[in-house]
Amino acid sequence: MAGRFWGVGVGPGDPELITLKAARLIGSADVVAYHAGVGKRSNARRIADALIPPGAVEEELTYPVTTGATDHPGGYAGALAAFYESAAARLAAHLDAGRDVVLLAEGDPLFYGSYMYMHDRLAESYDTEIVPGVPAFAAATAAAASPLVRQTDVLTILPGTLPEPELARRLADTDGAIIMKLGRTFPAVRRALAAAGRLDGAVYVERASMAEERWLPVADVDPDTVPYFSLVVVPGDARHGAGRRAVERPVVRDRPAAELLVIGLGPGPDRWLTAEVTAALAEVDHVVGYAPYVDRVPQRPGLTRHASGNSVELDRARLALDLALAGERVAVVSGGDAGVFGMATAVHEAAEGDPVYADVPVRVLPGVSAVQAVAARAGAPIGGDFAVLSLSDRLKPWPVVERRLRSVAEADLVVAIYNPASRSRTHQVVEAQKALLEHRSPDTVVVVGRDVGRAEESLTVTTLAELDPDTIDMKCLLIVGASSTRVTAGGAVWTPRWVR
């Protein structure tokens, strides 16, 4: 019979943090394996040193390269893939011979560990079991002696190898955080912490639970001294103590109300942001909006982000109005143009519903709308008269939508259709197609734009009869042409300005 494969976590460094189960398995193993860097002693082997039985076979799996150059034809990734295949074959030979193999893993085997690459290659063929270990961040938090998260706080674990703007954004949007994989990434990590307003209270911990352990404020760390075995602890309490949850604090009306900006971010790419919008976002102290749109605003020092889910537009608007009423500089962000099925109307609706907001001036900054982006990609389908309509019946009854569709079709207007479908709305495109065909020819030109301006962008030109509703989702915008809309030999769609 084949042997059993064990992935055993040995904890962050202190041998006394090895679990009883891990100690028992290491002490009875036929084969003890561990990874090691080039020219370095295995840290996992050092932690488990006193537990490895004298008669055990040891397999040191030495990386061919860590961060240096390699002449492997597949580059760094190719060199590591070949190494993992070779290492798995070595362990498989022991398992095939009936020997139990314990692969040591620093911290926990499934937490940023090398064990996972062996698991991928061996678990389907051999009886495999994983023994969890104390992860490094748990030891680091204990060393810092600072509560990490409480009650409903959100904990985010981030690799320091993330791009600096993305790291800053994620740090600004969470309560507690752990940043792993430091070393050469430390200067960028510290800048990201500063940009997110999380540098104060962030603690650097090095070699947690080991004899050489040290910890100090991130701001005081010499970047040239940071080893790979280090991480940053960002306690959730630091965020609350700094009052970063403006949504939870009472409005203080001891300053004049500030102007509330409602901003259109365009359909996606930064190059479609207007200069006016870019300048405004660089000046405000708060950004409020649907989470995917807030994510598009670069994090910087002094900026507080208030991201929320879909379908809570009025709640977002009231939060922004409260902040502006307290004298804060606030921007509410929308995708596309804020005035086209965006947050501009929601802000005015919320303000009209409460006289306390009468003193808050509201200014809308335009953005490139989705219909403009799709039309530009297609050619000039909205070069003549056109209408814009949303198929969402969340705020208006479906019979109203159908009546408007028929009116637009009868008037022979090009119509741009927003919000054609969603997970909970799957029949509207079918019904809209039927309503339009009552007054339009089956060969009416239809443009389907999906994710226009983004990496997944696609554009399809079809006809009203051949439009497949099953291919339409919330990422799409439809442009249904008029009777005069035509397609050139090169595939461009355009609608004449004149009417015969």
pLDDT at 245: 37
Boundary (domain end) residue, out of 342, 365, 388:
365
CA distance 164 to 228: 18
Give a yes or no: residue 281 inside a domain: yes
Read off the CATH number of the domain in which 332 is found. Answer: 3.40.1010.10
Residues 22 and 92 in one domain: yes
Name the one residue in this structure whose structure tokens are 């497949």: 468
pLDDT at 243: 36
Give a yes or no: residue 441 inside a domain: yes
Residues 357 and 375 in one domain: no
Residues 342 and 360 in one domain: yes
**238: nearest Cα among 307, 313, 144, 319:** 144
* Residue 467 backbone zone (phi > 0: left; psi -120 to 50: alpha; other: beta): beta
Give a yes or no: residue 129 inside a domain: yes
Give a yes or no: residue 91 inside a domain: yes
4 pLDDT higher than 70: yes
pLDDT at 240: 56
197 pLDDT higher than 90: no
* pLDDT one-digit tens code per residue, 91-147: 999 999 999 999 999 999 999 989 999 999 999 999 999 999 999 999 999 998 888
Residues 288 and 216 in one domain: no
Residues 281 and 323 in one domain: yes
247 pLDDT higher than 50: no
Boundary (domain end) residue, out of 133, 156, 175:
133
Residues 336 and 257 in one domain: yes
Residues 159 and 84 in one domain: no
pLDDT at 444: 97
pLDDT at 249: 39
How large is the average pLDDT for residues 154-164? 94
pLDDT band at 254 (very low <50, low <70, confident <90, very high): low
Residues 85 and 203 in one domain: no
Read off the CATH number of the domain in which 474 is found. Answer: 3.30.950.10
Give the per-residue SS3 of the chain.
CCCCEEEEECECCCHHHCCHHHHHHHHCCCEEEEEECCCCCCHHHHHCHHHCCCCCEEEEEECCCCCCCCCCCCHHHHHHHHHHHHHHHHHHHHHHCCCCEEEEECECCCCCCCHHHHHHHHCCCCCEEEECCCCHHHHHHHHHCCCCCCCCCCEEEEECCCCHHHHHHHHHCCCEEEEECCHHHHHHHHHHHHHCCCCCCCEEEECCCCCCCEEEEHHHCCHHHCCCCEEEEECHHHHHHCCCCHHHCCCCCCCCCCCEEEEECECCCHHHCCHHHHHHHCCCCEEEEEHHHHCCCCCCCCCEEEEECCCCHHHHHHHHHHHHHCCCCEEEEECECCCCCCHHHHHHHHHHCCHHHHHCCEEEECCCCHHHHHHHHHEECCCCCEEEEECCCCCCCHHHHHHHHHHHHHCCCEEEEECCCCCCCCCHHHHHHHHHHCCCCCCCEEEEEECCCCCCCEEEEEECCCCCHHHCCCCEEEEECCCCCEECCCCCEECCCCCC
Q: Which range has the worst mean pLDDT, 50-54, 122-126, 177-181, 305-309?
A: 305-309
Residues 234 and 257 in one domain: no
* pLDDT one-digit tens code per residue, 64-87: 876 667 778 878 888 889 999 999
pLDDT at 250: 40
**338: nearest Cα among 349, 350, 347, 330:** 347
pLDDT band at 488 (very low <50, low <70, confident <90, very high): very high
Name the one residue in this structure whose structure tokens are 């040891």: 58
Q: What rounded mean pLDDT belongs to the chain?
A: 92
pLDDT band at 406 (very low <50, low <70, confident <90, very high): very high
Residues 107 and 148 in one domain: no
Residues 36 and 124 in one domain: yes
Structural domain boundaries enclosing 489: 371-494
Give a yes or no: residue 500 inside a domain: no
Give a yes or no: residue 378 inside a domain: yes
244 pLDDT higher than 50: no
Q: What percent of the chain has pLDDT over 90?
A: 77
Q: How far is CA 186 from the centre of its chain?
A: 21
pLDDT band at 237 (very low <50, low <70, confident <90, very high): confident
Give a yes or no: residue 499 inside a domain: no
pLDDT at 71: 79
| Structural tokens at position 416 | 């741009």
CA distance 435 to 389: 14
Boundary (domain end) residue, out of 213, 241, 269:
241
CA distance 8 to 47: 12
How large is the average pLDDT for residues 303-322? 90
Residues 64 and 150 in one domain: no
How large is the average pLDDT for residues 324-342? 95
pLDDT band at 253 (very low <50, low <70, confident <90, very high): low
* pLDDT one-digit tens code per residue, 420-459: 988 777 789 999 999 999 999 999 999 999 999 988 999 9
- Global pTM? 0.70
CA atoms within 13 A on the CB side of 268: 14
Give a yes or no: residue 172 inside a domain: yes
Q: Quote the number of domains for the chain.
A: 4
295 class by beta-carbon count within 10 Å (0-12 exposed, 13-18 middle, 19+ buried): middle
